[in-house]
A and B are shown apart, each in its own frame.
Chain A
């Protein structure tokens, strides 16, 4: 089972993923993206608690809490990664990433707080920009859209800045 335990060449895997994106457009006309799914997911969770709130917010009317192509695409990423990790012997339950552990120690608490609040901030930004590294980064840049270049520049600038704050430029 340890046939592919080393990583594939990122150029080959990236180029193949580009072909997947092109095939997707050719077959269904769908461009890769991920962050809208979190709006639908949030709407589904909120609907369980208070359906009235969901019905009254215009953003949930725009991005309805339903299972669409992208929702299944994102679900597929989870399954595909699981399958690849299992087949290659790469699967590993790990709660605190190596570089985080080196900097802050093995405690899960701080990592969980950072991941949670980082997630809130990242998703707010992605929805404001109308896309994430998939929708703007991959699909946007592939289509030469100006919004893709601006957003992707923002993603990396903001990310590099935060990485400096977290790791102190080391």
Chain B
């Protein structure tokens, strides 16, 4: 049942990604070349809605948050390495499958590379555990936790900030 729901969730999500045209290489690189911010508009709109919804569910006791650990070395280095690869392949892991779905066959090479990348990582994991994963391990922390502010205040401030970013993008015609 859970698997079936997963498939349906992906189906709707993939449908929306395709309809917004955010799957394609040209849109992903458009954002990274600071020329076309469609994917940023999609992501920030998603986040504004989801942060309100998820914290509402959490406050009502209807769901548990699932926070990933903050390890400065791993998050920052891994993030930068991902970005460098992303700028080359032009698809992220989720959108590579979606891009293939809309006929972008170069995504196949990207997907093959990502599988190889996962295999390479599996062989580096034990070594990384004793090195990068020990650099600045702060555990599962959130902005409200770190700042001591109420999460709704943080959400309100971020929502306003995101809307201002989006307005700026619109004004600049991006």
Task: Decide: B88 and A117 in contact? CB cutoff 8 A.
Answer: yes
Query: Secondary structure of the A side of the interface?
Result: helix
Can you list 12 A-B contacts (CB < 8 A)? A9-B20, A81-B99, A84-B14, A90-B18, A90-B102, A127-B121, A130-B69, A136-B79, A143-B55, A143-B66, A146-B142, A147-B141
Task: Decide: A15 and B114 in contact? CB cutoff 8 A.
Answer: no
Task: Decide: A145 and B70 in contact? CB cutoff 8 A.
Answer: yes
Top 10 nearest A-B pairs by Cβ distance? Answer: A154-B79, A158-B83, A76-B10, A119-B113, A162-B87, A80-B14, A118-B88, A129-B78, A122-B85, A123-B117
Task: Decide: A160 and B87 in contact? CB cutoff 8 A.
Answer: yes
Interface residues of A in 98-144 (CB under 8 A from B): 98-100, 108, 111-144
- Pick the most buried of B13, B57, B106: most chain A CB atoms within 10 A of its CB: B13
Shortest Cβ gap from A133 to chain B (Å): 5
Shortest Cβ gap from A95 to chain B (Å): 5
Contact A58/B125 with A21-B50, A77-B10, A159-B32 known, Cβ cut-off 8 Å:
yes
Task: Decide: A124 and B85 in contact? CB cutoff 8 A.
Answer: yes
Task: Decide: B105 and A93 in contact? CB cutoff 8 A.
Answer: yes
Shortest Cβ gap from A164 to chain B (Å): 8
Residues on A lying within 8 angstroms of B by beta carbon are 4, 7-32, 34-35, 37-39, 41-43, 45-46, 57-60, 62, 67-85, 88, 90-100, 108, 111-167
Task: Decide: A42 and B119 in contact? CB cutoff 8 A.
Answer: yes
For A7, the chain B residues whose CB sits under 8 A away are: 19-21, 38
Give complex CA distance A148, B65 in Å.
13
- Identify the closest chain B residue to A170 (Cβ): B33
- Identify the closest chain A residue to B140 (Cβ): A145
- Identify the closest chain B residue to A112 (Cβ): B109
Task: Decide: A93 and B90 in contact? CB cutoff 8 A.
Answer: no
- Identify the closest chain B residue to A165 (Cβ): B87
Give complex CA distance A128, B35 in Å.
29
